[in-house]
Amino acid sequence: MKIKSSIKNKILILLGTMFFLFVINNLWAIVNLRKLDNSINAIMKSNYNSIVAVQDMSLILERQDSLQLSYIFTKNKDYIKKFYENKEYFYENLKIEENNITEKGERELARKISENYKIYNEKFEKFLNVKDEDKMQNFYFSEIFCIFEELKKNFRDLIELNQSSMLNKKEMAAEISKQAVISIIILVSATTVIWLMLSSYIVNGIFAQFRELIEKMEKISKGDYSQRINPLNDRELKKLAETFNKMSEELNSYKIINIKKLKKADEMKSEFVATVSHEFKTPLTSIGMAVSMLGESSNLNKDQKECINIIKEENERLNVLVKDLLDLSRIESGKTVMNIKENYVSEIIKNAVNPLKKLFESENVCCEIKEIDLNYKVNADYNRITWVMTNLLTNAVKYKNDLRKLKIEINAVKQDEKIIFSVKDNGIGIEKEFHEKIFNKFIRVSVDERGKVTGTGLGLSICKGIIDAHEGKIWVESEKGIGSTFYFELKAV
């Protein structure tokens, strides 16, 4: 039966694997503890019982020896009775020892004890038949005491044999314990690594699907409604992906409808602006001529001359605005034909900088052209691109920081099949929120020292239109209070 892939099943697999490995670790620990327990039991059974039995026999023998000495001096029959009672206890312990032979040489020692104890008892019987106290003492020391010492030696040898064996088995038990600990550590480490690898594989698989979903959602939030998610593995995420794709399709369809509406509205607006600008051109020219004629009159007082100058300045400003609007309308409508030719990059830059040298001197501007490869060429409309460079340079002067001397750096580098131009300044800078907006029409983000908004707000929009017509790209990197760097790229020859 095929198990359906789902997050729930993967979590259950992880938990089941963890439980299985936990059981294996515990069973292995139990097996090793059992081995250790068996080795300890072997010591207890094979050696400890023998040592206890031998020690008991030694105590019984010493007690019997004491009873004999007591009998010599008192002739009390109770001591004889107790001697025989201890004799039974001795044979009981001897039997325990004989039934617990585990070590090499142990059987021989047990046999010697049995034989010597038999001789000891036979001597004791003869001892009882001696009536004279002095002779009894002599018999004890000459016949019995030597057997007593021999038995004591047999006991010591047997105890040493078992103790030596116990030490060896203790070392074996310690080695078993050490091996058990090592094997448990290895098993726990191995199972932990296996579980972590499995966990990492499963969790990464789940999160990879989430990451793809998050990336697509971020792009959706930025307006890219073409995003689609490939079918995902897990049942829950598969359903989520289907819902996401459905949402993207609906958003994209709405976007297409809105783009068409916006495009139509923009075309209407551009046509309106172009028409109005064109209609303004003739009357503005007439006004300019009339103002010039009035200004030449010698009958004007001071206030009248000031009014004439104001009208003249505003007329010139309107002429510039109308000219910019007409240029922008022609570029947007595609009516402006770009004279695309091979041009040296260095020539374009020099042609833009030379007319501005007096402006730079008057404004105390340091303009530096970086070392540019003289062989760099671009396919471009020479005059239009020169105009773009000029606009960027005059903007740098217009928005300089009065707290420091203005420095402008001009550079051009080749990257892949593109030439990237840059104009860097240390002016007032542009806030990040305006980095894209400033290329839209009528966007002005700075004011001059008198608090007046400068320019028409069309210069950068025209620059963007010219660069777009060259199938290039224009952008800005800037930080408020630090300065700005404007970039645009063109196809390299």
Question: Could you tell me the mean pLDDT of each successive run of 10 residues in the chain, 493 residues long?
Answer: 57 72 73 62 67 90 91 88 92 89 87 92 89 86 91 91 78 72 80 79 71 74 71 63 73 64 57 55 64 67 73 65 60 67 94 92 93 92 92 92 93 93 94 88 59 63 89 93 94 91
> In this structure, is the dihedral angle defined by the CA atoms of residues 436, 399, 471 and 477, taken in order, positive or negative?
negative
Cβ contacts of 462 within 8 Å, gap of 6 or more: 324, 327, 328, 331, 387, 391
How far apart CA 302 and CA 361 sit, in angstroms, is 33
Q: Is residue 129 included in any domain, yes or no?
A: yes
> Is there a single domain that holds both residue 38 and residue 78?
yes
> Is there a single domain that holds both residue 43 and residue 132?
yes
* Residue 292, CA distances (Å) to 180, 298, 310 in order: 109, 12, 12
- Phi/psi-derived region of residue 247, left when phi > 0, alpha when psi is between -120 and 50, beta in every other case: alpha
How far apart CA 223 and CA 252 sit, in angstroms, is 9
Q: Which of 201, 216, 241 is the last residue of a domain?
A: 201
Q: Are 410 and 368 in contact (CB under 8 A)?
A: yes
Segments forming the whole domain that contains residue 150: 7-201
Q: Which of 157, 173, 201 is the last residue of a domain?
A: 201
Cβ contacts of 431 within 8 Å, gap of 6 or more: 445, 480
What is the number of structural domains in the chain?
3
> Is there a single domain that holds both residue 105 and residue 196?
yes
For residue 325, what pLDDT is reported?
60
Smallest CA-to-CA distance from 428 within 360, 479, 367 is with 479
> Is there a single domain that holds both residue 55 and residue 195?
yes
Classify residue 150 by burial, with Cβ atoms within 10 Å: 0-12, 13-18, 19+: middle
For residue 452, what pLDDT is reported?
45
> Is there a single domain that holds both residue 186 and residue 171?
yes
Q: Is residue 455 included in any domain, yes or no?
A: yes
> Is there a single domain that holds both residue 356 and residue 437?
yes
How far apart CA 107 and CA 136 sit, in angstroms, is 34
Smallest CA-to-CA distance from 367 within 392, 342, 344 is with 392
**Where residue 22 sits, what CATH number does that domain have?**
1.20.120
Q: Is residue 32 included in any domain, yes or no?
A: yes
For residue 7, what pLDDT is reported?
64
> Is there a single domain that holds both residue 332 and residue 342?
no
Q: Are 166 and 50 in contact (CB under 8 A)?
A: no
Whole-structure pTM value: 0.44
> Is there a single domain that holds both residue 177 and residue 70?
yes
> Is there a single domain that holds both residue 82 and residue 182?
yes
For residue 405, what pLDDT is reported?
93
SS3 for 160-225, per residue? HHHHHHHHHHHHHHHHHHHHHHHHHHHHHHHHHHHHHHHHHHHHHHHHHHHHHHHHHHHHHHCCCC
For residue 131, what pLDDT is reported?
80
Q: Is residue 88 included in any domain, yes or no?
A: yes
Q: Is residue 109 included in any domain, yes or no?
A: yes
Q: Which of 304, 319, 336 is the last residue of a domain?
A: 336
What is the DSSP track for 339-404? -EEEEEHHHHHHHHHGGGHHHHHHTT-EEEE----TT-EEEEEHHHHHHHHHHHHHHHHHT--TTS
For residue 215, what pLDDT is reported?
77
> Is there a single domain that holds both residue 120 and residue 151?
yes
Q: Is residue 34 included in any domain, yes or no?
A: yes
**Where residue 298 sits, what CATH number does that domain have?**
1.10.287.130
> Is there a single domain that holds both residue 66 and residue 165?
yes
Q: Are 369 and 407 in contact (CB under 8 A)?
A: no
* Residue 87, CA distances (Å) to 128, 152, 423 in order: 15, 16, 119
Q: Is residue 122 included in any domain, yes or no?
A: yes
SS3 for 395-440, per residue? HHHHCCCCCCCCEEEEEEEEECCEEEEEEEECCCCCCHHHCCHHHC
> Is there a single domain that holds both residue 307 and residue 343?
no
How far apart CA 417 and CA 438 sit, in angstroms, is 27
SS3 484: strand
**Where residue 441 sits, what CATH number does that domain have?**
3.30.565.10
For residue 1, what pLDDT is reported?
39
Q: Is residue 221 included in any domain, yes or no?
A: no
The total of other beta-carbon atoms located within 10 Å of residue 465's CB is 22
